[in-house]
Amino acid sequence: MGFTLSVENAPAPATQWGCYCNSETTLVPNSVWEQPTKPYGLLMLDERWECVDPAPGENPIDMACFDSEGHIVKESIVTVTILDDRDYIFDFATETLRIESLQAGCLPMVILCLVIGCLAVFGLLLL
C-alpha cells in the first residue's frame, strides 16, 4: 500500500517542492507552505516522497516548487488519479503527473497476465 512522488522540470530558482492533497486518507507532503511546522517539511527537488498511507484515488493536488527562502516559484493545481504501488513524477513544465514505473512486485503478475492472454488468443486461432 502507498505510492511515491517526485518532481521534475521545476523552473529556476526553485530548490524545493511540496504539495497538498485534499484526500483525508493520505498526507502527501502536506501544505507545508501554509504550516511550516508540519513534520513533513519541504523536499529538495531531487528527493522522492514515499507515502505509506493508502493512495487517494482521483483527487485534486496542489503542487508547488519554492526557492531557497521558501517563496513559491510555481504552483499547479491539477486533478489526477493516484493509485497504490506506483511511482509518480509530477512535471512542472507540462503540469502533468505520470507513472514512472510499475513496482517490482507487480511486474511478475503483469507478465503472467500477458502470457495467459497470448495463450488464450493462440488457442482461439487454432479452433
Per-residue pLDDT tens digits for 69-114: 888 999 999 998 888 899 999 999 999 999 986 545 555 555 555 5
Query: Can you point out the beta strands (E) in the chain?
Result: 3-8, 16-21, 43-44, 49-51, 57-66, 72-82, 86-91, 96-102
Per-residue pLDDT tens digits for 7-63: 999 999 999 998 877 555 444 444 434 444 444 468 889 988 887 777 778 888 889
Q: Residue 65 corresponds to which cell in the numbers above?
A: 516548487
Residue 21 to residue 27: CA distance in whole angstroms: 7
